[in-house]
């Protein structure tokens, strides 16, 4: 029988296993024996006394060696069985295995078992469910436009709190275009939240819940997550994903680190790849290491019928500075907001490859007397950064401007075309103005 085993084969779902019970080898019914030795027998011959059998010295030596080998092998087998038992935690060696705290993966001499209940119990109070509500305009069959409320589900990680707010990190795509946000804690208490800051280029957002709105019993039930070091991860290391899968509430999956520094089309930065199941609603949830520390923010999954077990998380160590910046920001009133004074359009990744240009905002027009003109920015330049944050289009530029008032000085990174067809990068200090 072929020694290949298919534990999961979608294309042959329901196919019966091979039940052929035939066995190879010679047929035991073959009973042809040669009784005739070819010699004559004298039935009346006087019976001769049988000679005593003598064992050759070599045979005696072999038997003694076999007995000795049997004793040694028996001892070796018992020793091997004890050693295997000590490694695997089975047999008589089980009593020699030290118990490990249920706040981490249970291990026996570095062999990882599947019980992650201790980590989950300790970490779940720092994970939240996020419900985003928005209103979509839909054109009817008769040409009219109606507004239909829409809800989407996501997850978040409690990362800090200040004097007034509890701060939660999640994905930007979980909260973008939302009219209202509701956070549900581990004790099922739901409270409205607001957006502190977003970074669409890295698909990150920080939202806040007012402490005064959180009941005391809920404050006692929740905790701030412990942030780990994603830079020290190794391929094959066990990980656990927790999130609000499909909006049903928190669920847990586990797996390993499948690869590091993966790049995904449409996403900036490099990602952790894992085979732990990451489903819709898991976005913004936690990817944990074996110590229960957050080492990734679940973000994406390859959605293809031919792909299985390919989820991706943002390495937390790569975005610590961005998260801290978003935590400390507050959007300003639109009437007070500062403007650069440019008109432009997006340079997408496709356009950048086609025309050999950097991604960002192509400046098609400079507003006369505006902030950009006074700072010396020229038409044809491409804005690629704003106060250290990457800019990949007008949406991300406007998003960054929403935190600054007129009169603030900001650093704008631009790429200017050179005579040889390349682009040269420079930082320009711009004093923002009111919209004209």
Q: Which residues are catalytic?
A: 173, 203, 283
Nearest-Å Rg of the Cα atoms of the chain is: 35
Strand pairing report for 389-390 and 127-139: unpaired
Read off φ and ψ for residue 108, nearest 5 degrees: -130, 105
Residue in 305, 312, 190, 298 with CA at minimum distance from that of residue 245: 298
- Give Dmax over CA atoms of the chain in angstroms: 139
Instruction: Outline where DSSP puts E strands in 268-387.
Output: 271-274, 286-288, 294-301, 311-315, 342-347, 360-366, 382-386
Q: From CA 394, how far away is CA 382, in angstroms rounded?
A: 11
10 Å CB burial of residue 283 (0-12, 13-18, 19+) is: buried
3-state helix, strand, coil in the chain (%, to 5): 25, 35, 45
Does residue 401 contact residue 334 with C-beta atoms inside 8 Å? no
Residue in 254, 386, 271 with CA at minimum distance from that of residue 318: 271
């Amino acid at each position: 029988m072929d020694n290949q085993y298919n534990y999961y084969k979608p294309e042959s779902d329901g196919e019966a296993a091979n039940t052929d019970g035939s066995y190879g080898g010679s047929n035991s019914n073959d009973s042809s024996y040669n009784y005739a030795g070819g010699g004559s027998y004298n039935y009346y011959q006087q019976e001769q006394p049988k000679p005593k059998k003598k064992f050759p010295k070599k045979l005696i030596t072999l038997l003694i060696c076999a007995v000795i080998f049997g004793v040694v092998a028996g001892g070796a087998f018992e020793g091997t069985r004890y050693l295997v038992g000590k490694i695997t935690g089975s047999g008589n060696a089980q009593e020699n295995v030290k118990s490990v705290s249920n706040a981490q993966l249970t291990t026996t001499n570095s062999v990882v078992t599947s019980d992650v209940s201790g980590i989950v119990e300790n970490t779940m109070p720092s994970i939240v469910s996020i419900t985003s509500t928005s209103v979509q305009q839909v054109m009817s069959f008769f040409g009219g436009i109606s507004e239909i409320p829409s809800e989407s589900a996501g997850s978040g990680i409690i990362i800090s709190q200040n004097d007034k707010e509890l701060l939660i990190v999640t994905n930007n795509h979980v909260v973008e275009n939302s009219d209202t946000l509701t956070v549900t804690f581990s004790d099922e208490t739901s409270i409205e939240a607001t957006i502190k800051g977003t970074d669409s280029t890295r698909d990150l957002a920080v939202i806040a819940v007012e402490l005064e709105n959180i009941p005391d019993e809920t404050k006692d039930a929740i905790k701030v997550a412990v942030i780990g070091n994603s830079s020290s991860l190794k391929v094959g290391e066990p990980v656990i994903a927790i999130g609000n899968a499909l909006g049903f509430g928190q669920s847990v999956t586990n797996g390993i680190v499948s690869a590091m520094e993966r790049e995904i089309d449409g996403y900036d930065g490099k990602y952790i790849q894992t085979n732990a199941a990451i489903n819709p609603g898991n976005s913004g949830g936690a990817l944990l290491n074996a110590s229960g520390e957050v080492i990734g923010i679940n973000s994406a999954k390859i959605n293809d019928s031919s792909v299985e077990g390919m989820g991706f998380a943002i390495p937390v160590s790569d975005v610590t500075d961005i998260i801290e910046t978003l935590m400390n920001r507050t959007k300003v009133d639109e009437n007070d907001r500062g403007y650069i004074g440019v008109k432009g359009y997006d340079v997408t990744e496709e356009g950048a490859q086609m025309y050999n240009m950097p991604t960002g905002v192509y400046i098609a027009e400079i507003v006369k007397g505006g902030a950009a003109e006074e700072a010396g920015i020229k038409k044809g330049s491409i804005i690629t950064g704003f106060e250290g944050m990457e800019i990949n289009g007008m949406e991300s530029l406007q998003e960054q401007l929403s935190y600054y008032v007129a009169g603030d000085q900001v650093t704008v990174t631009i790429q200017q075309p050179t005579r040889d067809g390349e682009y040269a990068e420079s930082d320009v200090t711009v004093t923002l103005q009111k919209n004209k």
